[in-house]
Structure 1
Amino acid sequence: MTRPNRPTRERKPPPTRLALLAALLLAAGFAAWSSADWYAAAHDERVAYSRQRDAALDAAEQGVRNLNTLDHAELEQGLALWEESATGELLKELKGSRAEFTRQVRSARTATSARVLSGALTELDDRAGRARAMVAVRITVRTPDRKSAVKDSRMLTELTRTGGGWKLSALGQAPLGDPGTTGGEAPDEEAGSR
């Protein structure tokens, strides 16, 4: 006896396979979109500029900290760190004054440390590789008799980008003015009324 031919039904994939396929397509689309977005951000000039700005400010703050820290017990390491933080004319000055610094610090037997309070980049010329910053720092000097003196200071820095990153090329004290004055003389009231 022969069996009657039954019509064959088309097999549909189970619903879980469809859901898995849809999820896979969504994931692939998201990966393509985020890759394109990442590539665009990585090659955006504004992002590169902000990285240089952050690197210059970090170098200014670290350089000010380094050049205001020196312990008589670790003098050679401290002076080497000074020179690693500098370039150009500032580096020449530090190298030229190294013997004098060594003599003074060994004689005084002091330990100076610095802590950066704040910093701000005031100028950045990314193409020329130059920057300027102002850094507020708290300097503590300890004497051999364990007395400490603390001084807050504002330092103006100039930086130059080198093969080893941003380095200080000039360092000086920011002028401190009387916050109650505008820098000029008070106007003569009589002259103003004539």
Structure 2
Amino acid sequence: MRTLRTFAVGLSLVLAPLGWLSLPGGEYGPVLKGFSVQAQEGGLSKKIVPFVPTPQDVVERMLELAQVKKGDVVYDLGSGDGRIVIAAAKKYGVKAVGFEIDPELIKQSRENIRKEGLGNLAEIREQDILTVDLSPATVLTMYLLPDVNLKLRPNILKQLRPGSRVVSHDFDMGDWKPAKVERIKDKSDWEHTIYLWQVGERQPR
């Protein structure tokens, strides 16, 4: 299965010194622009997550699978240009918060929120995703990498309330059995997989 992020990671290992890469993205333009690095103090190794925007139709389907509704709070980990946060706030009228560490992406996403007039519902916080308190969220979205997903599992189990939904684009949660898996293709013929879990179901720790 081809995935944009898997392809981007492979290219990044070869072309990272250029600092700027452009991959097939159709209407979304350049899909890799620098790197988002997730890291913590205390010995955890750096996690390099290339910025690969989720196509808008995949964004919409992720939120639909999560059954976002009034009263939900959506957290997007590694929020990039803010498109998931904006879509959640605009379509469903819910509080949506993105977490990002790349200064350029933070600036861009905040400007996108301002242009949409969604400042009362949507916000972007500059924070390492591994340190985020997830407890306010009822819906958690992500497009990261497999090892980063696994590092998030303890926080998800410990902090999210029963009934909360977790949606991941392209990458699973190891041996956690998803409630739903859906595969779709975008306009550039890239295949995307969406995974949905519901907190409270029996998941290995």
Normalising by structure 2, we get a TM-score of 0.26
Greater fraction of residues in helix: 1
Normalising by structure 1, we get a TM-score of 0.27
Structure number with larger C-alpha Rg: 1
